[in-house]
Structure 1
């Protein structure tokens, strides 16, 4: 008969477990706050586009002004790969924590500066140029923020619960978008007419400063990830040229990730940014109804994402991605058909249908941002993959969707755009993507 463990040993183990859980919760908060700030700004900008358009562009052609406002997002996102790769290099060389401290500072300052810009009526063409410059800086910094935050959370997480913990990184994005939508709706209600157009729109952007201050406080309180510390403690895993190493050794998982994430980018940003404007501008639904219906659907999705993470931790990443791709093809046209009735109820119903593929895809693509790549180049490889696919299509999708509807006079052109990406994802997941849900974080992955 074996001797029972001393009571003090049991107490010590419980204390260690308690401290570990506290550290993981702090890591989730520290990693997620940057995603929240980024998506708060992105959602706010997208929802306020009709108000920003006459402030930064000539008001002679309102439709062209709105398209130009969306085009600035698209152009800025083209700079995300360069910025994300640079930030990723720092993250693999100096650590996740230090890098993420700087990214949230830059994001908060640039977002707040948008709220202080002079308008087209005040400085002419320099107004949209200044707006574009700030969006480019934001895009470059944000290109590394999300990838670094996901790596930070996943490297702190328990091995068999990585998708569950990563779901909170996804949720922080949707909470940020929801906050952006709510702030846009509240601002539009409080400052109607000339007050909103002249100065009321500035207030939400200025809120980014205190939000980034909270992020700095959270990130200063958490240690570097145990995974990164283990990989670099003797210096052997610190790569002098992580970008080159990532492209040389991780190109297969990079391509696999790109093939999957384009689908999610088109799905998500045709929903949260373009669809409310379509409900208002094309179907004639009052703006508050369009924004409120979108906010309801986002609020419903938020508690579902941790459940999706738990499910994926049990059955794997690939089954979830396959079900999500099929749902994109089958359910999105149904959602558009329901929404065409142009009532508040059908607007809500259409978007509740729309979030079914989001359930299967969002958190899973998120955790794959970290799981597919080895620790020594995780930040760099993830940044290259994420920004070469998701970030670019995230930025261009509202513009492309608006252009498709304008050109073909039907929203089903947007579905064809999404369905093509979903078919590509089905091929990539089925034939080339490695299952990662039981893999070791530090190991190299290869598509097979």
Structure 2
């Protein structure tokens, strides 16, 4: 195997500090663009689910159709651990850059193809099956995209600013969700009625192609991460079986990341995917108001995440995670109570309360996804942990939340679901997690 190209400049050489900062900024952009495309698609699909449901399923029972649309997300996410493990193995063997070039290409193409699919009325049961197939491919590819992008950014980052830099990976997800929400709201407004149901919904999905092309260009013009180059001696000393090595030596941090990721997945996707539909379907808020209120809360969170990263670089990851878990238990039911007012103002206020635990958790779980693991198996280990927890619960949460409200006739059943995960995370973080914020990135000590 040929050696991975070294970075163009290093700190300590003439102009090295300036070049290093420029390289870090390029790495953030190259790493984050894939997360943006992934979450743009996820946001579109989640927000447009009530429109997609009659297009791909029989219209005899609207609730069943919407549940079926959410179920496709859940099924696709079940394939993320498999896809993430395979992509992670590739990332540890051939490098981060080459792997991330392929993942963003596949995500862009599959998302665009969703916008070109025939409907149930045109080809019958084949329509939802094709939709499921595309979502499964997306799920497998996306299983490696996020953890690879986080590893790439963190491996470029300065040691005392990893939380800050990793926050941009988290932010790219929320910017993608915000773009998906805004695009869905704009599409619903411009193509309201039959035009939206017949063909207007397709246009946002087709936008993934030019977005993916931008990502490919960015990733082609950035060097491999210097940490990967150092740990593998330029790609010559790779781990031949990174999956087996990760499971053998890093099972403990894998379980720790699983514990905190389940909580964050339920928190985040109850908010960005399920809650707008609850505001519309149960509380009777107009769809554009529900989507706009959600977009406002996401927009408020985005500039706060770098501050959370800076704070975690100063006080550590564990205090932030503990505070986030407590906030899940205490503040989420308050947010639901405020939202029951059924107005645009209460919808916004409820979600501004909801983002408090997001502040403490989102970017911190992101940086821990890289910091908990040693460099030579980081991609594989983080893919196993992240996808066997976050990705699965990300997919099933909108479905489970909708089912819980339908079964118990109260949104507080969703809070109980979240609180159980938060209690588990509190135990895991307090009892088993090793602090990582000032650790040597390439060390194996967290596996012991």
Q: TM-score, normalised by structure 1?
A: 0.97
**1:256–1:447 CA contact under 8 A, matched in 2:** no
Matches within 5 A, 1:18-417: 18-233=18-233, 237-417=237-417
Residue equivalent to 2:424:
424
Q: 2:295 & 2:169 partners in 1: Cα distance?
A: 18
Residue 389 of structure 1: how far off its partner (Å): 0.2
Residue 324 of structure 1: how far off its partner (Å): 0.2
CA change 1:411–1:445 in 2 (3 A) is farther
Aligned-residue CA RMSD (Å): 1.2
Gaps spanning 5+ residues in structure 1: where? 1-10
Question: CA-to-partner distance for each residue in 1:87-144, whole Å, 9 max, x for gaps?
Answer: 0000000000000000000000000000000000000000000000000000000000
Residue equivalent to 2:444:
444
Question: CA-to-partner distance for each residue in 1:131-159, whole Å, 9 max, x for gaps?
Answer: 00000000000000000000000000000
Residue 14 of structure 1: how far off its partner (Å): 6.6
**2:94–2:235 CA contact under 8 A, matched in 1:** no
Query: Greater shift after overlay, 431-440 or 13-22?
Result: 13-22
Q: 2:176 & 2:193 partners in 1: Cα distance?
A: 26
Q: 1:183 & 1:267 partners in 2: Cα distance?
A: 23
Question: CA-to-partner distance for each residue in 1:402-433, whole Å, 9 max, x for gaps?
Answer: 00000000000000000000000000000000
Q: 2:197 & 2:366 partners in 1: Cα distance?
A: 37
Residue 55 of structure 1: how far off its partner (Å): 0.2
Q: 2:374 & 2:437 partners in 1: Cα distance?
A: 14
Gaps spanning 5+ residues in structure 2: where? 1-10
Question: CA-to-partner distance for each residue in 1:34-92, whole Å, 9 max, x for gaps?
Answer: 00000000000000000000000000100100000000000000000000000000000
Question: CA-to-partner distance for each residue in 1:375-416, whole Å, 9 max, x for gaps?
Answer: 010000000000000000000000000000000000000000
Q: 1:341 & 1:76 partners in 2: Cα distance?
A: 35
CA change 1:377–1:223 in 2 (3 A) is same
Question: CA-to-partner distance for each residue in 1:194-241, whole Å, 9 max, x for gaps?
Answer: 100000000000000000000000000100000000111166741111
Question: CA-to-partner distance for each residue in 1:304-338, whole Å, 9 max, x for gaps?
Answer: 00000000000000000000000000000000000
Number of equivalent positions: 438
